[in-house]
């Protein structure tokens, strides 16, 4: 039986995922968490075979807390779940210590296969993700400006270009508007642009959004 820790701040998504996994043989979701603090508490209470970690989390994002999870449980594989396409986060996830990367619109059996594989001590890389990783390694010496953003800066950038107001971004991430505004300023400076309109244009040109 593979003992799972499910980390996602959306209760409805967790419930749906638990039902999906309950239909499969050999899985047992023995604990769940809605944020980084709760997740760390869970891993300190008991061991797990695999953790499923959402990228978009209130407070600390999934990618930000991934190194901490690995430090607490070095042998516990972590599969990152993301609403974003692989080309946006896969390389960052594996660099942070993920054992697998699965987008939330992938086929359910792909998630099942990924759990089985990482539980065996392997990494799970879907063909589409593998291509993105290879493209990323090929461009290591010539990074684009957005690839130099931190994980939190990148996440906030994507929310801004989707038209989310700074106050709402702060509410979702449990950050003050002033802090979000500071992140925005850093993002614009690193990308060499001066406005949200230019940021949106940059994101479209670099295929960061649909």
pLDDT over 90 at 33, yes or no? yes
83 and 180 inside one domain: no
Closest to 76 measured CA to CA, from 155, 24, 7, 151: 7
Q: Which residues does 2 contact at the CB level (< 8 Å), separation at least 6?
A: 26, 27, 28, 49, 50, 115, 116, 119
Specify whether the CB–CB gap between 125 and 93 falls below 8 A.
Answer: no
Residue 199 CA to residue 204 CA, distance in Å, equals 9
User: Higher pLDDT residue, 66 or 195?
Assistant: 195
The domain total for the chain is 2
Residues 100 and 10 in one domain: yes
- Strands of the chain, DSSP E: 2-7, 27-33, 50-54, 78-82, 100-103
- What pTM did the predictor assign? 0.70
- Residues 50 and 96 placed together within one structural domain of the fold: yes
Residue 210 lies in a domain: no
- Is residue 140's pLDDT more than 50? no
């Amino acid at each position: 039986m593979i003992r799972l820790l499910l980390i996602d701040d959306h209760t409805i998504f967790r419930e749906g995922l638990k039902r999906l996994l309950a239909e499969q043989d050999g899985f047992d979701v023995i604990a769940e968490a809605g944020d980084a603090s709760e997740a760390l508490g869970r891993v300190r209470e008991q061991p797990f075979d695999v953790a499923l970690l959402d990228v978009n989390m209130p407070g600390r994002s999934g990618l930000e807390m991934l190194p901490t999870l690995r430090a607490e449980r070095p042998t516990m594989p972590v599969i990152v779940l993301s609403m974003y396409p692989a080309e946006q986060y896969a390389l960052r996830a594996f660099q942070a210590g993920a054992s697998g990367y699965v987008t939330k619109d992938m086929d359910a059996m792909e998630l099942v296969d990924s759990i089985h594989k990482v539980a065996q001590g392997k990494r799970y890389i879907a063909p589409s993700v593998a291509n993105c990783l290879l493209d990323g390694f090929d461009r290591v010496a010539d990074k684009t400006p957005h690839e130099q953003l931190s994980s939190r800066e990148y996440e906030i950038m994507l929310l801004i270009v989707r038209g989310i107001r700074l106050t709402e971004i702060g509410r979702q991430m449990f950050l003050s508007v002033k802090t979000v505004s500071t992140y925005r300023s850093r993002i614009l400076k690193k990308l060499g642009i001066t406005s949200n309109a230019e940021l949106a244009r940059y994101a479209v040109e670099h295929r960061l959004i649909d």
